[in-house]
Amino acid sequence: MEAKSVREKEQPKTKETFEPKIVAFMCNWCAYSGADLAGVSRLQSSPNIRIIRTMCSGRVDPAMIMRAFELGADGVLVAGCHFGDCHYIEGNYKTMRRIELLKMVLARLGIDERRLRLEWISASEAEKYARVSFEFTEQIRELGPLELRMN
């Protein structure tokens, strides 16, 4: 028996009850450490974000992002090291190109490309992570729930 996605099990969302579900793929060396520093520094960040740590933003395959949307994410954040700081030399350049292409694919599928956001956040940029987390949550709240037609 196939597992049902979170989206299938949910009650219908209204504008008033909608709480965005956001998946964030964050590179271990910079963005994840920045988010961790935000927590350690007791900075407020959005509770709507669920972080998945990856070794590099370049490790985030577009299929992983599409799967997150399929399983119920209303928005996906990909965050990695600034250019020149990637521990795998050019992983973040690959990420940038992939995200640009994936946004075009999303638009073709009728998914607003603003549901996918790419950010560069260093290990010391806890404030930036906190700001981005709230900004993105509010943006997704304005866009409303993602309604995918699976058939």
Considering only 30, 35, 102, 118, the residue that binds ligand FES (CB under 6 A) is 30
Tell me how far, at minimum, the Cβ of 56 lies from ligand FES, in Å: 3
Q: At what angle do helices 91-108 and 62-70 cross, to 10 degrees?
A: 40
Q: In whole angstroms, what is the distance from residue 9 CA to residue 5 CA? A: 7
Q: In whole angstroms, what is the distance from residue 95 CA to residue 78 CA? A: 9
Question: With CB under 6 A as the contact rule, which of the stretches 23-31, 43-51, 60-68, 130-138 interacts with ligand FES?
Answer: 23-31
Q: What are phi and psi of 26, to 5 degrees?
A: -125, 130
CB 136 within 8 A of CB 117: yes
Considering only 27, 51, 111, 130, the residue that binds ligand FES (CB under 6 A) is 27
Considering only 45, 46, 48, 57, the residue that binds ligand FES (CB under 6 A) is 57
Considering only 33, 45, 46, 92, the residue that binds ligand FES (CB under 6 A) is 92
Q: In whole angstroms, what is the distance from residue 134 CA to residue 141 CA? A: 10
Q: Which residues bind ligand FES (CB under 6 A)?
A: 27, 29-30, 56-58, 80-81, 86-88, 91-92
